[in-house]
Amino acid sequence: MKIDKTYEGSFHIVGGDFSHAGEASTELKTILLSAGVEDEFVRRVAIATFEAEMNIMIYATAGILRYTISPEEIRIIAEDMGPGIENIELAMQEGYSTAPDWVREMGWGAGMGLPNMKKNADTFRIDSVVGEGTKVEMIIRR
Amino acid sequence: MRLKEIIRLLDAVVITNSRDSEAEIEWACATDLMSDVLYYSRGNSVLITGLAKQQAIRTSDIADIKVVVFTRGKEPDTQTIELSRKKKITLLITPYSMFTACGKLYEKGLRCCPE
């Protein structure tokens, strides 16, 4: 597959389903690698998507991860039905986390997820409504 | 540092390996926090961790880490071993603590992933 047009796809993610953690981002990574795009670009996409996927899995009931691949960039939208984020500014700080202990025991919840998405994306937007959910939109350019 | 050198210095048991023992590993990353792996690591690194679970393998796969070392002789379950085989990640177990394992590799020239 060569990226000469726009490709779209989506993954459904179920909250708490850790046995499938990382499958969406792994699949997206495979798609990009098979298209022959640069390793460093694939790595940034995979990391940003994985963090988004893990956040849905940790905090939300369910979520959807949509992607649009074009020759120049990839757009990822992660939208969940979750508790929402009360203070986005605080959540964006490295090390700030509200993750419960059982999540931390699995190696997650160190408060680096959102900052890491922002770090790997060229454009990063987050909107959240407490009690409804969170939407993260990222654009990563080649 | 060559993979075979890492195995030798850490007195490691090789659980899965699909790469040449002469393969050159550029950097090291040592943590139990998977988000730190994703935030600070580079590709072609070795991850030294006490988190002997599937999450360490999945995270390494996403971050292009080629070699994972479980410290203090922690033995992974069969799903973790199977996943590392499937993802072609070299999985090692060292009897040493994370501190000692890092010290042994650092002493011979392996360095932390640059931030």
- Listed in sequence order, the residues at least 6 apart from B65 whose beta carbon sits closer than 8 Å to its beta carbon are B29, B37, B41, B43, B44, B45, B46, B47, B59, B89
**Which residues 34-53 of chain A have a CB within 8 Å of chain B?**
39-40, 43, 46-47, 50-51
CA distance A108 to A51: 10
Give the rounded distance of the alpha carbon of A29 from its chain centre: 13
One-letter amino acid of A117: M
Indicate if the pLDDT at residue B104 is higher than 80: yes
Domain containing B56 equals: 3-112
Domain A7-141 -> CATH class: alpha beta
pLDDT, tens digit, 9 for 90 and up, residues A116-139: 999 999 999 999 999 999 999 999
Q: How far is B88 from chain A (nearest CA, A)?
A: 13
Which residues in chain A are contacts of B53 at CB distance < 8 A?
A: 106-107
B62 touches chain A (CB under 8 A): yes
Cross-chain CB nearest to B34 (options A108, A111, A119): A108
* Beta carbon pairs, A and B, within 8 Å: 63
| B88 band by pLDDT with thresholds 50, 70 and 90 | very high
Among candidate residues A1, A119, A72, A8, the one with its CA nearest the CA of residue B36: A119
Token look-up 């996943």 returns B83
Domain boundaries, given as residue ranges, for chain A: 7-141
Instruction: From residue B112, give the alpha-carbon distance in Å to each of A55, A80, B5, B57.
Output: 27, 35, 17, 19
pLDDT, tens digit, 9 for 90 and up, residues A65-113: 999 999 999 999 999 999 999 999 999 999 999 999 988 888 888 899 9
Model ipTM value:
0.81
Token look-up 């392996």 returns B110
Residue A1: the pLDDT is 63
CA distance B46 to B25: 7
Which residues in chain B are contacts of A20 at CB distance < 8 A?
A: none
Token look-up 């990382």 returns A22
The pair of structure tokens assigned to B42 is: 């580079």
Q: CATH number of the domain at B71, please.
A: 3.40.1390.20
Q: In what order do the strands lie in the sheet with A73-81?
A: A7-14, A62-69, A73-81, A133-141, A123-129
Indicate if the pLDDT at residue A115 is higher than 80: yes
One-letter amino acid of A131: G
CB spacing of A107 vs B39 below 8 angstroms: no
Residue A4: the pLDDT is 82
Residue B103: the pLDDT is 98
The pair of structure tokens assigned to A79 is: 């939208």
Q: What domain count does chain B have?
A: 1
A92 touches chain B (CB under 8 A): no
Residue from B27, B34, B115 whose CB has the most chain A CBs within 10 Å, to mutate: B34
B39 touches chain A (CB under 8 A): yes
Among candidate residues B25, B22, B58, B56, the one with its CA nearest the CA of residue B42: B25
Give me Rg for the CA atoms of chain B: 12
CA distance B95 to B90: 17
CB spacing of B64 vs A43 below 8 angstroms: yes
Bridge partners of B46, per DSSP, are B28, B67
For residue B42, how many C-alpha atoms fall within 13 Å in the half-sphere facing its CB? 11
Which residues in chain A are contacts of B32 at CB distance < 8 A?
A: 107
CA distance A27 to A123: 22
Cross-chain CB nearest to A107 (options B34, B62, B64): B34
B101 touches chain A (CB under 8 A): no
